[in-house]
């Protein structure tokens, strides 16, 4: 980390769920955050945030107008927080960033199991098969993808293996990797999943850019939480089968959101290597 600022501060927000007729104004949020940060600074000596992380559910129903509201909020927050530009804002999609109308429009249906359908993009409910392909499936994220393009000036992946992003900050000694835990989430399915190939591709891109990235703290950002540890009746948490791959890939920290409960990894037996933290609400 750079000598002039040995402490790196990350402001982690999640599930901001912005709507068209938002009852909590951008001004109110900005004022509350500014006051909170000033208090943290004076009472606990916490430096102002270097990074703003928003771990998904940017909108309530993933329509264009809600993304306009989200853009305005983030634009205001980055100024308030002295995060100098959108390059230090790290965000990922959540289940509320999937447009259900678009999702329902991209599936074919039938009573007979389709022969050549991608098993990951096929679902059977009450004897009816639903299936689609990757290009059509990506449309459920189109408003998010438009917003992403506007914010960063680059495209969010269409095919599943490309739905990630990498934000390396070698001078700060860390790297954020945004993963899509909505890989197979749509209007029919709610289980959080991260595609293994996307984790691999993210690592590949990082290694290509920084062959000697071993000294950097790798921070994974995704949306769905790990509350299957405490709330096993829930079926929309993150499928934990990806965690081993993340540990093997050298991630030291994960930030997520969704059900807004603290998930310190103390029950996870590989905590020594990996700490997963969700946003918290009291």
Which residues lie near Fe ion (CB under 5 A)? Answer: 57, 94-95, 258
Report which residue's Cβ sits closest to Fe ion.
258
Three-state SS for the chain is: CCCCCCCCCEEEECCCCECCCCCCCHHHHHHHHHHHHHHHHHHHCCCCCCEEEECCCCECCCCHHHHHHHHHHHHHHHHHCCCCCHHHEEECCCHHHCCHHHHHCCCEEECCCCCCCCHHHEEEECCEEEECCHHHHHHHHHHHHHHHHHHHCCCCCCCHHHCEEEEEEHHHCEEEEEECCECCCCCCCCCEECCHHHHHHHHHHHHHHCCCHHHCEEEEECCCCCHHHCCCCCCCCECHHHHHHHHHCCEEEEEECCCCCCCCHHHCCCCCCCEEEECCCC
Nearer to Fe ion, 174 or 255 (CB): 255
Least separation in angstroms between CB 160 and Fe ion: 19
Nearer to Fe ion, 70 or 95 (CB): 95
Nearer to Fe ion, 81 or 221 (CB): 221
Nearer to Fe ion, 132 or 181 (CB): 181
Least separation in angstroms between CB 260 and Fe ion: 9
Least separation in angstroms between CB 96 and Fe ion: 6
Nearer to Fe ion, 95 or 99 (CB): 95
Least separation in angstroms between CB 54 and Fe ion: 12
Least separation in angstroms between CB 57 and Fe ion: 4
């Amino acid at each position: 980390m750079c000598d002039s600022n040995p402490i790196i501060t990350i402001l982690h927000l999640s599930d901001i769920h912005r709507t068209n007729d938002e009852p909590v104004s951008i001004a109110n949020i900005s004022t509350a955050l500014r006051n909170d940060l000033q208090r943290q600074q004076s009472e606990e000596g916490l430096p102002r945030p270097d990074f703003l992380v928003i771990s998904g559910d940017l909108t309530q129903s993933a329509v264009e107008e809600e993304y306009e509201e989200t853009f305005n909020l983030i634009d205001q927050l980055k100024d308030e927080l002295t995060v100098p530009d959108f390059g230090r804002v790290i965000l990922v999609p959540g289940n509320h960033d999937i447009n259900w109308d678009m999702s329902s429009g991209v599936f074919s249906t039938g009573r007979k199991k389709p022969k050549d359908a991608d098993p990951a993009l096929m679902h059977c409910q009450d004897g009816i098969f639903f299936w689609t392909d990757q290009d059509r499936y990506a449309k459920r994220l189109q408003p998010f993808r438009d917003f992403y393009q506007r914010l960063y000036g680059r495209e969010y992946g269409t095919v599943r293996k490309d739905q990630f992003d990498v934000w390396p900050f070698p001078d700060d000694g860390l790297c954020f990797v945004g993963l899509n835990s909505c890989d197979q989430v749509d209007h029919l399915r709610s289980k959080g999943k991260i595609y293994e190939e996307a984790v691999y591709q993210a690592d590949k891109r990082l290694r290509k850019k920084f062959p000697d990235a071993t000294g950097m703290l790798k921070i994974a950002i995704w949306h769905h939480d790990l509350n299957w540890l405490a709330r096993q009746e829930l079926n929309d948490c993150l499928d934990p089968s990806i965690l081993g791959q993340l540990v093997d890939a050298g991630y030291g920290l994960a930030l997520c959101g969704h059900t807004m409960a603290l998930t310190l990894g103390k029950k996870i037996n590989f905590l020594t290597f990996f700490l997963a933290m969700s946003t918290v609400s009291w």
